[in-house]
Amino acid sequence: MKAPGVLVNLRAGRVRRDPSLVGRLERLVPRGYLEATTEPQQLPEALKRLREAGVETLGVVGGDGTVTWTLTALLRTWPAEKRPALILLGGGTLNTIPHSVSGRARPDHILARLRGRGSALVATYRSVLRVEAAGEKPSYGMIFANGAPPRWLSHYNSGVYKGVLGAAGGVIRSLGSVALGGSLARELFAPFEGEVEVDGEALLDDRFTGMAAGAVQHIGLGFKPFLSIPREGRVGRFHWVTTETGGPGLAMELPTIRLGIRPPLTNLRHASARSVRIRLARPEPFTVDGDLFPPARDLRIDAGPPLCFLTSEAARS
């Protein structure tokens, strides 16, 4: 395959922990095929330089938040007919989305395998999420949520430990608060009211503790709530799930969410959707791929443009 371009988020967790990573990546691509950024505002110019260099495949080094900002800048600036195939190389703290799409391996190892002779490439197409808050430009990503999930993320971000250890500790503290009826559980699962339309059809529920949309299977730590999304992705649809249950009810759901199955009796409402419209009684914060966005009342989530994602059989296994 022609050498891919590489876009590196220098603030990503693995990149900061491994200062020599950028140099190793540079040796795997031609001169001018690697761009490094520290802020989302730098992405349009970096992508422009890679486009002008003739890049047809783009490797993205960074975690879940890097995916959001890269997809958003790419879909706003790169002509549709020339958009590159994408390789999510990881390099962040949790890497939920890169692991779901490209498998688990170090960024330089994945890139070396993709460049190697005889490496079996797998191309999959999936529609990303287009998330638009009223009055704002749309953002693009793989996972959307509001209610309990962004509240939990705020709790996680305020902790000392990050990565899998910090996330697992956050889950344990949350479950402990649920068991004791503590203030953290009350904060996480405080209900909110609103109206939701899925593909133009209004839901009967008007009270929620959480909502989520996914274009990938996983949300991290092995949990798989997005049942209608196969590993290979899906074009034109995403998985939509809502709940009005509190902490105890959701805690009972965790084993089946971990297994990726839907039991006969469940507190979760699932749907395969093309478009979702949300109108809330009061503004609520939301998250796209682990990045927190300001509170919003009116939101629309659509199955966005299908993009090609590449990986190798070796990286996928």
What is the C-alpha to C-alpha distance for residues 136 and 21, in angstroms, rounded to an integer? 36
Q: What is the pLDDT of residue 102?
A: 74
Q: Is 5-119 in CATH node 3.30.70.2190?
A: no
The residue ranking higher by pLDDT, 124 or 199, is 199
Mean pLDDT over each residue of the chain, to the nearest integer: 87
Q: What is the pLDDT of residue 316?
A: 53
Q: What is the pLDDT of residue 267?
A: 86
Residue closest to 275 by CA, chosen among 219, 225, 201, 210: 201
What tens digit of pLDDT does each residue of 11-59 get? 988 888 898 999 999 999 999 999 999 999 999 999 999 999 999 999 9
As a whole number, mean pLDDT of residues 166-187 equals 80
Class of domain 132-305: mainly beta
Confidence of residue 312 (pLDDT cuts 50, 70, 90): low
What tens digit of pLDDT does each residue of 128-157 get? 999 999 989 999 999 999 999 899 888 877
What tens digit of pLDDT does each residue of 83-120 get? 999 989 888 877 888 888 877 778 888 787 776 654 56
As a whole number, mean pLDDT of residues 244-252 equals 86
H/E/C letters for each residue in 246-286?
CHHHHHHHHHHHHHCCCCCCCCEEEEEECEEEEEEEEEEEE
Q: What is the pLDDT of residue 143?
A: 95
What tens digit of pLDDT does each residue of 249-282 get? 888 888 888 778 887 778 899 999 999 999 999 9
Q: What is the pLDDT of residue 317?
A: 47
Confidence of residue 288 (pLDDT cuts 50, 70, 90): very high
Q: Is 130 within 8 Å of 142 (Cβ atoms)?
A: no
What is the C-alpha to C-alpha distance for residues 74 and 309, in angstroms, rounded to an integer? 14
What is the C-alpha to C-alpha distance for residues 265 and 268, in angstroms, rounded to an integer? 9
Q: Is 301 within 8 Å of 131 (Cβ atoms)?
A: yes
Residue 233's φ and ψ, nearest 5 degrees, are: 85, 180
Lowest mean pLDDT across 63-77, 114-128, 158-172:
158-172
What tens digit of pLDDT does each residue of 177-236 get? 887 888 888 888 999 999 999 999 999 889 999 999 999 988 877 788 898 888 778 899
Q: Where are the domains of the chain?
A: 5-119, 132-305
Confidence of residue 164 (pLDDT cuts 50, 70, 90): low
For every residue of the chain, DSSP letters joined together read: -PPPEEEEETTSHHHHH-TTHHHHHHTTS-TT-EEEESSGGGHHHHHHHHHHTT-SEEEEEE-HHHHHHHHHHHHHHS-GGGPPEEEEEEESSS-HHHHHHH-SS-HHHHHHHHHSTT--EEEEEEEEEEEEETTS--EEESEEEEEHHHHHHHHHHTSS--HHHHHHHHHHHHHHHHHHT-HHHHHHT--EEEEEEETTEE-S--EESEEEEESSS--BTTB---TT--TT--SS-EEEEEE---HHHHHHHHHHHHHT---SS-SEEEEEESEEEEEEEEEEEEEETTEEEEEEEEEEEEEEEEEEEEEEHHHH-
